[in-house]
């Protein structure tokens, strides 16, 4: 089978790497891809949200499956675009339709869904420009810190956590009335702050059955010790020691199953990945957010732990036979350390030559913001590369990914040296 992977990050490189090992694969195409994905297939210079250009490529290259990495094409309706077009009959799209993708595309929708189906999440209120005064009054009823979320997609920037009440009221006005995040903040969700430790839980589903994938912990802040600005993710670890079998069972019973039942009850046909951003408060799991795709960099530790043929599982999604597929998981630890460009996340240098990649032997290097420039590989974004390593202990895996991050070289390189350290402490405490 020929497949097309949409996206250009480490997540898409990890998909390409894994799918290249499938017994079902013929050719892989990646749009637009990066310097790393080229090793597994053909990069096509197409924007993942340019559906007409995608259609043309699908027909030209005899593609039978499109795997959607990022949320944008899903929220914009790529699934419906393929379903409606007779010329694309028989081409599977791995990802939910635009209605199902509202679980990520609209925080207001997601919160209403959770409230309706009894899924544990932070208490909330939803407000627009017309109800700004009510929103400010709602803030008065909460305790600091205050959590304000642009309801729509805001490229990961739409969540503000503010200590001061007056400042929170000012920001609410900026979001609703001055469109601080454009249309994305025309509705704002205000939430009660939950204090706990976070993890990322993933399932793949064909709408009827689901498989729980390995969990991961993502490190979102730019600085060591979880300080500084939020980023797309600076590293990840799987498995997560505090996600004991008992805690995963709780998540399944209280969150995954009610979500699946809720989708069915609401007539929402969900096929693809669901990413549950979970926070553990005491011993109880709460949903912080849903995403309609895999996480990045979580994918770079979750996919390497799946031993089964990923394309076979994707076929199970497409033909609604996922229940007949087995999924085998590698029991080893897997960690990844993201290397970023100078200035990230506020800005990022580009075009810096990357060297020493050939010296990495005990790690899988997934590319994110890279491109080829002649025979050289150069930086092409904020998150540049991520070094994934296996280990029979967390310590061993972290050691290897740190060493690789140290070895790879480009001007302005930065990475966090403390990925997984908090978890190492947890294991010691046991």
Residues that bind ligand AMP (CB under 6 A): 122, 147, 149, 159, 191, 193-194, 198, 220, 277, 288-289
| Cα 18 to Cα 15: distance, rounded to the nearest angstrom | 5
Name the residue nearer to ligand GLY (CB basis): 206 or 289.
Answer: 289
Which residues, in sequence order, are bridge partners of residue 212? Answer: 203
Give the shortest CB-302-to-ligand AMP separation in angstroms: 17
Choose the one of ligand AMP, ligand GLY, none that binds residue 295, judging by a C-beta under 5 to 8 angstroms depending on kind: ligand GLY
CB of 375 to ligand GLY, least distance (A): 32
- What length does the chain have? 430
C-beta closer to ligand GLY: residue 291 or 401: 291
Distance CA(341)–CA(339), nearest Å, equals 7
> Pick from ligand AMP, ligand GLY, none: which does 291 bind, CB < 5 to 8 A by kind?
ligand GLY
Instruction: Report which DSSP code applies to 239.
Output: S
Query: For residues 69 and 241, which CB has a smaller minimum distance to ligand GLY in the complex?
Result: 69
DSSP structural state of residue 241: T
**Shortest separation between residue 238's beta carbon and ligand GLY, angstroms:** 12
Residue entry with tokens 């205050």: 146
d(CA 217, CA 278): 10
Which partner in ligand GLY, ligand AMP, none is near 193 (CB below 5 to 8 A by kind)? ligand AMP
d(CA 197, CA 162): 19
CB of 92 to ligand AMP, least distance (A): 29
**Residue 12 contacts which entry, ligand GLY, ligand AMP, none (Cβ below 5-8 A, type-dependent):** none
Give 216 or 313: the residue with its C-beta nearer to ligand GLY. Answer: 216
| Cβ proximity to ligand AMP, 82 vs 124, nearer residue | 124
Instruction: State how far the Cα of 207 lies from the Cα of 107, in Å rounded to an integer.
Output: 21
Q: Say if CB 365 and CB 263 are below 8 A apart.
A: no
CB 380 within 8 A of CB 388: no
CA gap 24, 413 in Å, rounded: 38
Smallest separation (angstroms) from ligand GLY to the CB of 61: 28
Which residues lie across from 149 on neighbouring strands?
159, 189
Residue 61 binds which entry of ligand AMP, ligand GLY, none, CB below 5-8 Å type-dependent? none
Query: Shortest distance, CB of residue 149 to ligand AMP, whole angstroms?
Result: 6
d(CA 353, CA 351): 6
Q: What are phi and psi of 108, to 5 degrees?
A: -65, -45
- 180 contact, one of ligand GLY, ligand AMP, none, CB 5-8 Å limit per kind: none
What, of ligand GLY, ligand AMP, none, does residue 122 touch, CB below 5 to 8 Å by kind?
A: ligand AMP
Minimum distance from residue 163 beta carbon to ligand AMP (Å): 13
Q: How far is CA 186 from CA 108, 115, 128, 154, in A?
A: 11, 21, 6, 11
* Nearer of residues 35 and 162 to ligand AMP, judged by Cβ: 162
Is the Cβ of residue 44 or residue 184 nearer to ligand AMP in the bound state?
184
Alpha-carbon distance of 198 to 423, in angstroms, equals 12
Q: State the DSSP H helix or E strand holding residue 166, giving kind and residue range, or none if neither.
A: helix 165-176
Helix, strand, coil % in the chain, rounded to nearest 5: 35, 25, 40
* Whole-angstrom distance, CA of residue 255 vs CA of residue 258: 5
Which residue is at the shortest CB distance from ligand GLY? 295
User: Least CB distance from residue 163 to ligand GLY, whole Å?
Assistant: 24
Looking at the Cβ atoms of 220 and 342, the one nearer to ligand AMP is 220
- What is the closest distance, in whole angstroms, from the C-beta atom of residue 366 to ligand AMP in the complex? 22
CA distance 370 to 295: 19
Angstrom distances, CA of residue 381 to CA of 148, 172, 218: 28, 31, 20
Q: Which is nearer to ligand GLY, 69 or 135 (CB)?
A: 69
Distance of CA 276 to the CA centre of its chain: 10
Instruction: For the CB of residue 105, give the shortest distance to ligand AMP in the complex, in Å.
Output: 12
User: Which of ligand AMP, ligand GLY, none lies near 296, with the C-beta cut-off 5 to 8 A by kind?
Assistant: ligand GLY
Cβ nearer to ligand GLY, comparing 51 with 219: 219
Choose from ligand GLY, ligand AMP, none: what does 174 bind? Cβ within 5-8 Å by kind.
none
**276: number of Cβ within 10 Å:** 22
- Minimum CB separation from ligand AMP for residue 270, in Å? 19
Nearer to ligand AMP, 82 or 275 (CB): 275
Residues in contact with ligand GLY by CB under 6 A are 218, 233, 291, 295-296, 298
């Amino acid at each position: 089978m020929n497949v097309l992977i949409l996206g250009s990050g480490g997540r898409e490189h990890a998909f390409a790497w894994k799918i290249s090992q499938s017994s079902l694969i013929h050719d892989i195409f990646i749009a637009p891809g990066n310097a790393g994905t080229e090793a597994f297939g053909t990069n096509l210079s197409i924007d993942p949200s340019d559906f007409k250009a995608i259609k043309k490529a699908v027909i030209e290259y005899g593609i039978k499956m499109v795997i959607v990495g990022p949320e944008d094409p899903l929220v914009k309706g790529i699934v419906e675009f393929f379903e409606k077009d007779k010329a694309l009959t028989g081409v599977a799209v791995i990802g939910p339709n635009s209605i199902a993708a509202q679980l990520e595309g609209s925080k207001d929708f997601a919160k209403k869904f959770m409230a309706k189906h009894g899924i544990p999440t932070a208490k909330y209120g939803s407000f627009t420009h017309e109800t700004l005064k009510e929103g400010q009054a709602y803030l008065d009823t909460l305790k600091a810190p205050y959590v304000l979320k642009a309801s729509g997609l805001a490229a990961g920037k739409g969540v503000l956590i503010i200590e001061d009440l007056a400042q929170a009221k000012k920001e609410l006005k900026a979001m609703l009335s001055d469109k601080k995040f454009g249309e994305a903040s025309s509705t704002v969700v205000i939430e009660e702050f939950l204090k706990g430790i976070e993890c990322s839980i993933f399932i793949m589903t064909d709408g009827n059955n689901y498989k729980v994938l390995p969990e991961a912990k993502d490190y979102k802040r730019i600085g060591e010790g979880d300080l500084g600005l939020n980023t797309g993710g600076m590293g990840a670890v799987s498995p997560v020691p505090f996600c004991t079998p008992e805690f995963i069972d709780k998540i399944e019973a209280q969150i995954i199953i009610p979500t699946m039942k809720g989708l069915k009850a609401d007539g929402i046909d969900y096929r693809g990945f669901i990413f549950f951003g979970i926070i553990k408060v005491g011993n109880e799991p709460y949903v912080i957010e849903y995403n309609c795709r895999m996480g990045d960099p979580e994918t770079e530790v979750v996919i390497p732990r799946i031993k089964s043929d990923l394309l076979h599982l994707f076929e199970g999604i497409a033909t609604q036979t996922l229940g007949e597929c087995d999924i085998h998981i590698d029991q080893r630890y897997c960690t990844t350390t993201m290397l970023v460009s100078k200035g990230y996340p506020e800005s990022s240098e580009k075009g810096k030559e990357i060297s020493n990649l050939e010296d990495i032997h005990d790690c899988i290097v997934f590319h994110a913001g890279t491109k080829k420039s002649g025979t050289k590989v150069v930086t092409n974004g904020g998150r540049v590369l991520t070094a994934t390593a296996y280990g029979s202990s967390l310590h061993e895996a972290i050691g290897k990914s740190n060493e690789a991050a140290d070895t790879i070289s480009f001007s302005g390189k930065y990475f966090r040296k403390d990925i997984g350290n908090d978890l190492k402490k947890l294991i010691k405490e046991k």
